Each structure stands twice: as C-alpha cells, then as structure tokens.
Structure 1
Amino acid sequence: MGGPSAAGPGAAQPRFRHLTSVHEVDDSRILHRECASLARAGHDVAVIAGRPPSAPVDGVRVVGVGRCRNRLDRMTRIAWRLLRAARREQADVCHLHDPELLWIGVLLKLGGCRVVYDVHEDVPKQIMSKFWIPRWARRALSLAAWVAEGICARIFDAVVAATPSIAERFPAGKTVVVQNFPSAAAARPLDDALPFSERPYAFAYTGGLTEVQGVRQIMAIATILPRELTGVLAGWFDAAELEGEVRASAGWRRVEHLGEIPPEAVLDVLRSARCGIVVDHPISNYLDSYSTKMFEYMACGIPVVCSDFPLWERIVGEADCGVLVDPLDPPAAAAAIEQLAKDPDEARRLGENGRRAVLERFNWEAEYSTLDALYRRLA
C-alpha cells in the first residue's frame, strides 16, 4: 500500500485530520481502513476523536478530546473541542465522519481549511428508523438532514460516499465512492483452516445486535436449528431493554456471545463457522446499502445466508457465494443453515466463490486507490 508522500520534494507536508464525535477510535472504516492506509502511503494523517486521549492505533496518531456525557453534549461541547483541536493541529484538510459535525465543517471551511464529508450511511433514511427519535419528529428531522447535507456538500471540497446509492444524492463532480470492503489479505486462504465438517459453529454473526439487524430473528433461528447446531455472536447491543429480552430468550442458550472483539479477532471467529448470517430488516436504509459483514464472511471463505434484497441478490447471485432468504422468516434461514451444515462440500464451494470475489473485486485495495487520488488532488 506504500507510495510517495502527498507533497512533492521540498514541499510542506499537508496535514490531514479525521474528525469524529460518534465513532470509537479504532473504527474499522475510519482508522483501520482509511487512516492506516493513508499513513502507510506517507500522508500526515491523524484522528481527532470524541474520546479520551489515546496512544497511536495501527500506526495512526490519535488526538482525544474527552468523552461525551450524552447526545446533546456530544453535538455541542465535544464538537466544539474537535474544532479547537483541528485548529491547534493546523489541519490543511479536515475529513468529517458524522453528520452532526456539519456545522463544524462550515466553520473550518470559513477558516480556510479544506473539508471532506465522509457519508457512512444514508442519513435521511437512517433517521426514519431511529428508535430513540419520536415517530412524529422523524420526517421533519429527515428532511432537515437532507437539506443540511445538500447545502454543506456544495460548500465543502469533497464528499466520500460509502456506497454508490449514497453518492447519487451528492454533486457528481465533488463525490467519490469508497466502499467498506475487506482487505485482500483477509481473503487469502490459511493452511491450517479447520475443515467445514469440523467447525464448532453452524453459523456466525458479527456486528450490532439490534432489532432492525434481526437479533430477534437470529434467536428464533437458533431455537429452530437441531440441538447440535449452535451459533456464535460477536457484537454489541444498542438498547438495554432489547438486550434483557434477548438474553432471556430460548435462543440465547444456543449461541455463544463473545461481546465486542477487536477486528483482527473477528476473522478467527468467522473461520470457526460453517456460514455467516445477515438478516437485516427490509427498511429503506438497508435495501440500497451494502453490508460490511457480508463481505467479511466472503473474505473468510464461508457461505453467506442473507436477506433477499435486490442489491444483495445481485452480489450473492453473481458470485454464487450463498443463500438468500426472507429476513423475517426464521424457519427459511434455519433450513438454509442446516443444509449448509449437512453438506460441507457445498458450503466449501460457496465459500471459495465468495473468497474469489473479494480477491478479484470486493477488496479495500481497489477502494483505497480512489481515496488516495482524492487526497493527492486536495493536497
């Protein structure tokens, strides 16, 4: 991933700073994909985060400004601290990762800094499914987000969109698509990989344990499967009430929950399973979005059992790497998982097809070249 520095010989090194009030310091997209890759390529890059001060992570310097007390505090006091830290760092380019930092981006732009807005999600659609926002307020807030993003996109210097569908909402001349694909290294076969027939788990799930990501359906699937077929979960709950309900369910006794684990440990978990599942609900924010975990499953060479969204159907169908199911039909998903567990040769074939697709197309190295080209243009 190496390369020359962004500045020419004898020129001052441009300072690129990534700002986030919402995400953890070691967020996979912000730090492990974007910042770590940019640092290895010779860019002067650091993360300014709404978290306590931290040592460098994956070769990237971290500037922590303190943890927030609540959402309002995060959007005001912490955002203001991020702005002050960016100014102290004398940042030439500020790369924002949260919509609540748009107003900070405008102030940075007025101060002469170049600003990039990284759009991880379709925010107007995402707001419509936020459980903590009253239903009566969602439509108005969604419209406000759409207007704010549209105005700021025209003020800022560039927009980085996580998916092609998100990119369609922003000015084409300023927008690039940088997708959350795994590294090609993650897809390289391991000599000591467990044979499918010897793997301890019938299925694995990694990521948020939320209602709309199908945690209730996952519990129902675990209950339906034959007793010898169990699952493993690596993820976190976003609501205490939901967590209590899920932990009390019959399905919880049929899975092993590892909690939130480091990114490098996720791959080992996946390689201990015979398939990976993604049963996101058919809400507007998911129907046109990629699932990062789906590509991680493919990279690890395990078949995917996933929601039958048209976009996902095209990806899985073209790669021939899994089974599509109605995400709200646990018996259908359980039947697919059981069939893969009983036919390790077919599971291996589908898994290898997915691995090949990652190596040839769905890998971070191809996406990084787009980000690097943007940075060299801004520099």
Structure 2
Amino acid sequence: MKSTNRQFIICHLTSAHSDGDIRIFHKLAVSAAERYQTYFIVPNGNTRTENNVQVIGFHSNVKSRIQRMKETVNQVLEEALKVKADIYHLHDPELLRISKKLKSINGAKVVFDSHEDVPKQILDKYWIPVLFRKLISKLYSYHEKRACKKIDGVVSVTPIICERFSKFHPNVEMIANYPQIKTEEGQLSEKIHNHICYIGGLYESRGLREVILAIEHCDVVLHLAGSFDTDHFEMELKQLKGWEKVIFYGQVNQEKITELLGKCSIGIVTLHPTPSYLEAYPIKMFEYMNSGLALLSSDFPLYRTLLEEINCSAFVNPLDPNDISKTLNAMLENKHRLEEMGVRAKKAANERYNWSKEKEKLYAFYDKLLHG
C-alpha cells in the first residue's frame, strides 16, 4: 500500500481514543481524506470506510492502563506497519515508543499530536498517588523530549504547549481544536434571557459546585448536560439549594446539545486553575461562541488573551461563588448588552475560532513534510 506520486498516505494512530473521536476522526482524518489516502487505526473500532477514511479496528481487551500502554500499543504498531504510510500521526503519548520503529521500517515521517500538556496533566491525575506525581511528570517530560527530537513534527492545540515543544523541535504547528461550523448554523436562534448552560464532563475541577452555590442568589435556570465522574459528587451537588434551579439531562446527543445552546444566553466555562486547565482551550467555549452565547469564564490569562478583545465574556474567580453570583447578576441586568456579547462571540467563531482555518494549516503542515 506504499504511496506513489498519485496519492500520499496518512495514517492516524490511537491506543486510547474511540473511533468516533471528534478531533482525530471528524476533524483531522476526515479533513486529510479530502486530499490524501487516509487511514485511522483504533482499538475496538468498527472497521469501515466513512467519509473516505479507512477505519481499521482491532480487538483489545486490556484491563488496566499499564496493559494498554504495552499490549494495545504493540497491536497498533502491528496494524500500522501493514499500511505503509507516508506520514504516521500519533495521538497518544504511549505511542511515542513505537515512533522509531515506524520510521526505520517504512521510512515514514512521524508526527506526534499532543492533545494536552501531558507533564502538567499528570500533576492532576487522581489515579496517581500525590507523592509520585511530580516524579512521574519529570520522567515523562524527559521521555517525551527525547522521543520527539527524533521524529519529524509535533502538533498541539494551544500556543503555550507549542512553545514548550518549540524549545527542542524545529517543526511545531498549532492546530487548535476549534469547532466545525456548518452553514446552516449561521443564524442565531431566539435566546431565553436568564437561561444558562454547562455542557461537558461533570467533574469537581470544572467548577460546578461553585456555580450551583452561586445560582442560589441568581434568577436563572441552569441547563446541565453530561456525565458525573463519581456518584459521590453527583449526590453532593443534588443536595445543594441551588440544584432547585438546575435542569439536569445526563449524557445527551449532539441534536440535544444544539437545542440547549439555541435557547441559552450564557455558557459557563469556570474551570478550576489546575496546571492543565490554565493552558488548555476548552472546546465547549468555542461551541458556546458559535451558538451565540455570551461567556462566564475563569479569569485565566489564556482566556483573557482569547476573549477580552472580543468583549464576549465576563471573567470570575472560579473558586468564589460570591464573585460568580455577583458577575452573573451583572450580566443579566442588561439584556441588550448580553445579546451584543453573544453576537460578538458568534462573529469571532465565524471569523477566527473555527475548524476551516485549522484545516488549511493541517494541509500545509503535511505538505511540508511530504515535499520538504
């Protein structure tokens, strides 16, 4: 299956994501398939051709992360070598250990896509004992740097992460996780003034406790969609007085998400200041903007860089329910101003923060590797 001058082969590899992953499949692979022959190798995926992407699934019945990092990665390598790609695009840190073999056997180019700042993310991992987190973070950072120096390119999702990689690799490209905007989404729907929403993982570090404490003192309805990470946290939130103002949907499909975003006027992005969140672009932030919602955001330097100039967000201390309630009430006091914030958010999503811009950067990055 080695490529000729007719068409180059791009192969996306994952050991930990699903075959429907938004970034890997729906954005990167589907976009690549518009120009190149494209494969996506994924554990427990449904083997098929979809949107011109040839998905290759294989059975992986691992019981632990350690097993996955060893056995599943070996299975990924076995399948990848059958494809004989021109570029292998790796999407999980544990796949870095097979990069040398991919390059030496097939003479391929290898790209690492760092979806997060992994050394900082390790510091937040609840399943790693606190005592060992700093050591593991340092060890991984050393391994990542050593492995990435030997590959052909690095892709990541924020300027801060890209800057870190640029210190030891000359070919780093930011391809942000901005939403895919469809033309039929161009018109804003009628918003309900005091309806606000949070959609995503329902974790303590996402600031939900503070938001629900805050809305005790606000005339709002909070639409909440997603899955709780623990039963304990769910029980705790449901016992708060502010829960009376919550409409909880659980996990919902994209159609329901679109419906909720269409009726709400404010999107909540009050993540806690953890090492990984401080430097991450929350994809839901851009989805809120694309749907014309004003934002209530954590007062992080990165968020201010993104949003302050647009004037589509109010900023709060995400750990302070009083600050959240005070700011939320101030936003709701002026309906016209709130609507204008939503219009500016939508305009910025259309002009800056959307996948069509990033897709062109992806093509340029691949072409530089293929023809350089």
| TM-score > 0.5 by shorter chain | yes
Q: In structure 2, what is the Cα distance between the partners aligned to 1:17 and 1:258?
A: 37
Gaps of 5+ in 1: 1-6
The reply on whether 1:290 has 2:281 as its aligned counterpart is: yes
Q: Percent of pairs identical after alignment?
A: 33
Amino acid at match of 1:321: C
User: 2:18, 2:45 within 8 Å by CA — same for their partners in 1?
Assistant: no
CA 1:339–1:54: 2 relative to 1, 3 Å: farther
Match of 1:3 in 2: none
Shift of 1:214: 1.5
Shift of 1:174: 1.3
* 1:260-275 aligned within 5 A: 260-263=251-254, 265-275=256-266
CA RMSD of aligned residues (A): 2.3
* 1:1-150 aligned within 5 A: 11-39=5-33, 41-57=34-50, 59-67=52-60, 68-112=62-106, 113-150=108-145
User: 1:202, 1:337 within 8 Å by CA — same for their partners in 2?
Assistant: no
Shift of 1:264: 5.6
Amino acid at match of 1:115: V
Q: In structure 2, what is the Cα distance between the partners aligned to 1:20 and 1:247?
A: 37
CA 1:264–1:14: 2 relative to 1, 3 Å: farther
- In the comparison of the two structures, how many residue pairs are matched? 364
User: 2:292, 2:346 within 8 Å by CA — same for their partners in 1?
Assistant: yes
Q: In structure 2, what is the Cα distance between the partners aligned to 1:224 and 1:49?
A: 47
CA 1:195–1:252: 2 relative to 1, 3 Å: closer
* 1:225-244 aligned within 5 A: 225-226=218-219, 229-244=220-235
User: 1:196, 1:344 within 8 Å by CA — same for their partners in 2?
Assistant: no
User: 2:148, 2:169 within 8 Å by CA — same for their partners in 1?
Assistant: no
Match of 2:236 in 1: 245
User: 1:26, 1:57 within 8 Å by CA — same for their partners in 2?
Assistant: no
Shift of 1:140: 0.9
Match of 2:249 in 1: 258
CA 1:372–1:204: 2 relative to 1, 3 Å: same
Match of 1:213 in 2: 206
Q: In structure 2, what is the Cα distance between the partners aligned to 1:330 and 1:123?
A: 30
Among candidates 302, 307, 317, match of residue 308 of structure 2:
317
User: 2:191, 2:262 within 8 Å by CA — same for their partners in 1?
Assistant: no
**TM-score of the aligned structures, taking structure 1 as reference length:** 0.88
Match of 2:176 in 1: 179
Q: In structure 2, what is the Cα distance between the partners aligned to 1:56 and 1:332?
A: 50
Shift of 1:57: 4.9
Match of 2:190 in 1: 194
Gaps of 5+ in 2: none
**TM-score of the aligned structures, taking structure 2 as reference length:** 0.89
